[in-house]
């Protein structure tokens, strides 16, 4: 569990100076084994924080303006504010539903305040009572777990309103980062409410056209800290609850495909049905291969699917860096290209069609290792008609004249005594 000191520093901006100061003083006392003051200061800080939540909260339905002003006045009286605040904290909703509780929290949490109050009185008045560090630590734990979740509207509702304000361009610049609000989620939203909250807050961000919706989801998925697990799991559930939403997220974050697709069935279904629509297929394949998420007996099948789609669409080998290139080479992608798409039988049967597929071919050929097999195939294909003349012209103009392609090619020819026609590539 996060320590009270870490929690306090993380939430400093969410606490007023008086509350922060009381909690800070409590910690100083605790570290110096001054246990009773440590408890009393922490308790006082907690009540002061709850008083502020009432004062800044929106008057709940069931109250009238005059009554609400009277409550706010009572809890700011210097002589009795702590007692009056405690009364409002433990105040329950009326049984007939005519009036809600002032502060929104679960019955279990509300009942705990009676315990903390009794312990506070024991701490202050009964010197014979053996007050130990565990009493302070349990109060710290309670504050960490629940203080930020309590408000007049409820922690989740209050935070959702903050997100709405941040996403309102009339109140905040679209460049204002959402990270400060994102970091509050686990503190202000109960685990039981988390899925509903994530659904609601994502809608708020999605409606704000100035915010990157998928970047927001990614930020939720990668929050640091064990206490954010419910945020991450609820976000993953949200992303995967709709196939189109899931696919859009993967398209925006192709390197995360293995994080989103968790089972072999999900992974296979994705690349069989949806990979062909991606603008980043090779980044996705790289992620699957490097994370060991593709069975060995499915890799060749996947490569054929990539190559078939690339050929049919005439698409170049786009969006590929050195890392992705290395992965493809190590797993035999280019060997399959040479064997199935750059052989004499295949090309001479389709030479007319291939004239319109030169982007596909040139982009693959430019990444191939120049060896004897490749050189012999080139000579076989372009020594006798028919062959795709537009592909020949592009090989001559873009590859043959470039270094180190030409020098490597000529070196292989010489070393292997390969005969080249005089009009080769002319």
CB–CB of 331/289 below 8 Å? Answer: yes
Phi and psi (nearest 5°) for 421?
A: -60, 150
Please, which residues bridge with residue 104 across strands? 151
Let me know whether 207 and 70 are in one domain: no
Let me know whether 163 and 74 are in one domain: no
Q: Is residue 249 part of a domain?
A: no
pLDDT of residue 368: 83
pLDDT of residue 97: 67
- CA 14 from centre of chain: 24
Residue burial 97-130, b: 16+ Cβ < 10 Å; e: rest? eebbbbbbbeeebbebbeebbebbebbeeeeeee
Q: Is residue 97 part of a domain?
A: yes
pLDDT of residue 226: 59
Let me know whether 316 and 391 are in one domain: no
CB–CB of 361/391 below 8 Å? Answer: yes
Q: Is residue 246 part of a domain?
A: no
Let me know whether 329 and 362 are in one domain: no
Q: Is residue 282 part of a domain?
A: yes
DSSP state of 400: I
Integer Cα distance of 111 and 101 in angstroms: 13
Residue burial 202-220, b: 16+ Cβ < 10 Å; e: rest? bebbeebeebebbebbbbb
Nearest to 131 by CA among 43, 51, 209, 38: 38
Let me know whether 228 and 88 are in one domain: no
pLDDT of residue 50: 94
- CA 150 from centre of chain: 26
Cis peptide bond N-terminal to 151, omega within 30: no
Residue burial 158-188, b: 16+ Cβ < 10 Å; e: rest? bbbeebbebbeeeeeeeeeebeebbbbbbbb
pLDDT of residue 1: 46
Let me know whether 388 and 362 are in one domain: yes
CA separation (Å) from 129 to 35, 89, 120, 136, 141? Answer: 12, 26, 12, 14, 22
- 343: CB partners within 8 A, 6+ apart: 377
What is the SS3 assignment for 136?
helix
Let me know whether 216 and 330 are in one domain: no
Q: Is residue 77 part of a domain?
A: yes
Q: Is residue 322 part of a domain?
A: yes
Integer Cα distance of 103 and 91 in angstroms: 8
Let me know whether 308 and 376 are in one domain: no
Q: Print the domain residue range for 162.
A: 154-241
pLDDT of residue 318: 73
Let me know whether 72 and 200 are in one domain: no
Each of the 426 residues of the chain gets a pLDDT tens digit; together they read 468 999 999 888 889 999 999 999 999 999 999 999 999 999 999 999 999 999 988 888 888 889 999 999 999 988 899 999 999 999 988 877 677 888 888 889 999 999 999 999 988 887 778 889 999 999 999 999 899 888 887 778 888 888 888 888 888 888 888 888 888 888 888 888 889 989 999 988 888 877 788 888 999 998 876 568 889 999 999 999 999 999 999 999 999 999 999 899 999 999 999 998 888 898 999 999 999 999 999 999 999 999 999 888 888 887 688 888 899 999 999 999 989 998 888 988 999 999 999 999 998 888 888 888 888 888 888 888 898 999 888 888 888 777 788 888 888 888 888 888 777 776
Q: Is residue 45 part of a domain?
A: yes
Let me know whether 399 and 382 are in one domain: yes
Number of compact structural domains in the chain: 4
Helices (H), 11-132: 17-31, 35-56, 65-74, 81-90, 107-125
Q: Is residue 248 part of a domain?
A: no
CB–CB of 359/315 below 8 Å? Answer: yes
pLDDT of residue 8: 93
Integer Cα distance of 115 and 90 in angstroms: 11
Integer Cα distance of 276 and 280 in angstroms: 9
Q: What is the SS3 string spanning 188-218?
A: HCCHHHHHHHHHHHHHHHHHCCCCCHHHHHH
Phi and psi (nearest 5°) for 173?
A: -65, 145
Q: What pTM was computed for the model?
A: 0.70
- CA 205 from centre of chain: 14
């Amino acid at each position: 569990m996060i320590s009270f000191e870490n929690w306090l520093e993380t939430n400093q901006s969410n606490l007023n100076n008086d509350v922060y100061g009381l909690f800070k003083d409590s910690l100083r006392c605790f570290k110096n084994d001054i246990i009773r003051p440590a408890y009393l200061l922490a308790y006082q800080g907690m009540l002061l924080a709850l008083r502020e939540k009432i004062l800044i909260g929106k008057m709940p339905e069931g109250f009238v303006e005059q009554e609400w002003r009277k409550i706010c006045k009572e809890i700011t009286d210097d002589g009795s504010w702590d007692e009056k605040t405690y009364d409002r904290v433990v105040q329950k909703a009326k049984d007939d539903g005519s009036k809600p509780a002032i502060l929104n929290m679960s019955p279990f949490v509300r009942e705990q305040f009676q315990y903390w109050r009794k312990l506070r009185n024991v701490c202050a008045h009964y010197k014979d009572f053996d007050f130990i560090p565990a009493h302070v630590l349990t109060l710290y734990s309670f504050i960490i777990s629940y203080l930020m979740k309590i408000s007049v509207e409820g922690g989740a509702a209050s935070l959702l309103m903050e997100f709405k304000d941040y996403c309102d361009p009339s109140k905040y610049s679209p460049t204002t980062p959402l990270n400060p609000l994102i970091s509050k989620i686990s503190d202000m939203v109960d685990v039981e409410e988390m899925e509903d909250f994530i659904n609601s807050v994502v809608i708020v961000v999605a409606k704000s056209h100035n915010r990157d919706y998928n970047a927001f989801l990614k930020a939720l998925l990668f929050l640091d800290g064990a206490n954010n697990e419910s945020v991450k799991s609820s976000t993953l559930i949200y992303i995967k609850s709709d196939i189109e939403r899931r696919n859009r997220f993967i398209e925006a974050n192709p390197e995360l495909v293995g994080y989103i697709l968790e089972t072999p069935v999900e992974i296979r279904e994705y690349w069989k049905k949806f990979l062909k629509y991606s603008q980043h297929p090779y980044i996705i394949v790289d992620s699957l291969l490097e994370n060991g998420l593709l069975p060995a007996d499915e890799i060749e099948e996947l490569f054929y699917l990539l190559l078939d789609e690339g050929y049919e669409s005439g698409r170049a080998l786009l969006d590929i860096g050195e890392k992705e290139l290395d992965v493809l080479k190590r797993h035999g992608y280019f060997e399959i290209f040479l064997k199935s798409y750059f052989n004499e039988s295949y090309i001479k049967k389709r030479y007319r069609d291939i004239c319109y597929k030169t982007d596909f071919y040139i982009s693959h050929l430019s990444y191939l290792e120049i060896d004897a097999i490749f050189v012999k195939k080139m000579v076989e294909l372009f020594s006798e008609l028919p062959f795709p003349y537009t592909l020949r012209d592009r090989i001559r103009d873009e590859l043959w004249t470039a270094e180190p392609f030409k020098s490597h090619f000529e070196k292989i020819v010489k070393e292997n005594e390969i005969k080249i026609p005089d009009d080769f590539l002319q």
